[in-house]
Structure 1
């Protein structure tokens, strides 16, 4: 029996994800017992003659009907018989809120991811030289990530159609930007020293793809978000991103095949040009296998989303564990990207001086001092006026000039 091909399996997976809204539904909110509780609560407590709900709930946008849904959700869950399965309500499990905040553990994990991105961005700005043209890309990466985790925290604090879309759109921006950065970095559209003419067209294409995706999502009513399609879209971007970095790591171990298109040979770019990644005369940087390991760990962490078990103690679910797992992984990605930007700059500068086949300079993510020492900088006006000693003096004294009499 022939084995199914990869495109067939991938296509089937995407079709399955796209049909999720049709085959999965929340059984809890359709249960007659829950509906009876909900209607009774609204009649009893939501009448204008009744006292309003607590002020701290109203301050965060809670309505009486939403508070009734929360109370009935837990009342229904409290009375589930031992051994019976738990139910979801309106697409979510029953979580204990903390004050007005709906999912406190997921909020903490989102804030943890926000913090590690701030730390990674600060470390990168400290170690990567301002002259390195990869630095603005990494700064933009940090800002996109920070925005994503801010809205993730807001969404888990208060789930509304607006905060949900802001969270999902921000997550897509992060995935799309990491893919764009991977293309730019691996194919040399932007290096620490040069910029390719293809950079703008490729960036514009990714931007157009994402904007088209957002436009399509916004065409749906507020309460009819196409979760399956959105998940499939992000999954495709993530798969391409992972394949690129896996191939990048593999280029240090295997001679990748050369493609021929219109009598033109197309080779996978060298990770640190002009050095041959398979050369035995040079030491390979320790970053060579890092992306492969990080892709594997990220994929394993993402599998937590597929478990989707009922929350432990009605607080910790698979989604919060997924956010917890990404905290150390994000730190490792920042470490790699920072080291890689320094490594790439050193390799290109060394190659420009004719020493490209000697070694990988700055290996291991140095501070860049070696490259800075070898690359003289032009003093600015203030430094010249102050007689700055930060520049090398001439090895011999200036010749004495005799003034004509």
Structure 2
């Protein structure tokens, strides 16, 4: 389970049901007029944009100008439409600020200021820190298993769920990586990669919650439990990527998987008498309280720090606690096994 990524993903997809390129900002006639003028001329007043280059017959050049630049510079560039939208949005927000009118959303997003080409720089930074925290947790778990705890004769860990948590770590790293990329640049490809990686992590977390809470150690039984869920998750991910990115249906599926696994973990924590069950409770409860930041959706401070970015910040310490619970579980199971062997 990754409760932090889980809560975030559920809230993002719930917003997406209502956001289909229709917000107060992009409905503004002045904003639309600015976009139209920019895409026709490549300029907003005296400010012109290199991506909006035109041939002698007035047609937009098919190949973006920045593909002529080195690859390490290309990632900071945007296309003509994106640049027009961004600068028209900034101009409209400056005009409204002079009239003491608060910011509004454009195409489903608050008006963020780009930094080094990143669309939501604070969310990118905090997603990267979450990724780093998962990597730290995974490395510390690895060191505990293979350098601090006793090993079997074949140099294998006594902890029966070691392999499952290693794979969980890889999926978590992948999910937070694409979260950072998606917040850096929200396009169709990055959106699908972010959603798909989150769905896969959510489905695998459900499998892991079942296997650990019911103490499933037999490989054949694990396969029997996991196979139907893996098939379902893979089918759902393919549906989103190759047929239709249906936000409503995706939300139903993800909420069902989320509620199921949270219920499993909560019941298990209550009945297992695990010595570190309080860490599990802390992560679940604190993660739920942190969701208030998402519910109280406010415009980004100085165009950088919004509620979603702050939520990502709160998940960083919770990720540390979660991996601490996983390490405690490894020590608990190893000690229990060795005591039985005596």
TM-score range, shorter chain: 0.7 to 0.9
Query: Within 2, Cα distance between the matches of 1:76 and 1:247?
Result: 51
Q: Does 1:128 align with 2:145?
A: yes
TM-score (norm 1): 0.68
Query: Within 2, Cα distance between the matches of 1:107 and 1:19?
Result: 19
RMSD of Structure 2 on Structure 1 (CA): 2.8
Q: Does 1:208 align with 2:231?
A: yes
Q: Does 1:95 align with 2:112?
A: yes
Where does 1:316-355 land on structure 2 (aligned, <5 Å)? 316-353=305-342
Where does 1:68-107 land on structure 2 (aligned, <5 Å)? 68-80=84-96, 84-107=101-124
Query: Within 2, Cα distance between the matches of 1:24 and 1:38?
Result: 14
- 8 Å CA contact retained: 1:188, 1:196: no
Where does 1:209-288 land on structure 2 (aligned, <5 Å)? 209-220=232-243, 225-251=245-271, 271=272, 277=273, 285=275, 287-288=276-277
Query: Within 2, Cα distance between the matches of 1:145 and 1:213?
Result: 19
Distance of aligned partners of 1:103 and 1:23 in 2 relative to their CA distance in 1, 3 Å threshold: closer
- 8 Å CA contact retained: 2:76, 2:116: no
Deviations 1:324-345 (A, max 9, x none): 1111001100010111122022
How many residue pairs get matched?
302
Query: Within 2, Cα distance between the matches of 1:238 and 1:344?
Result: 26
More helix by share: 2
Distance of aligned partners of 1:139 and 1:313 in 2 relative to their CA distance in 1, 3 Å threshold: same
Where does 1:308-387 land on structure 2 (aligned, <5 Å)? 308-353=297-342
Q: Does 1:38 align with 2:35?
A: yes
2:192 to 165, 176, 186: 165
Gaps of 5+ in 1: 1-12, 252-270, 272-276, 278-283, 354-405
Query: Within 2, Cα distance between the matches of 1:157 and 1:30?
Result: 24
* Max Rg structure: 1
Q: Does 1:293 align with 2:282?
A: yes
Deviates most, 343-352 or 154-163: 343-352
Gaps of 5+ in 2: 1-9, 43-51, 147-155
Query: Within 1, Cα distance between the matches of 2:216 and 2:219?
Result: 5
Larger relative contact order, structure 1 or 2 (CA cutoff 8 Å, min sep 6): 2
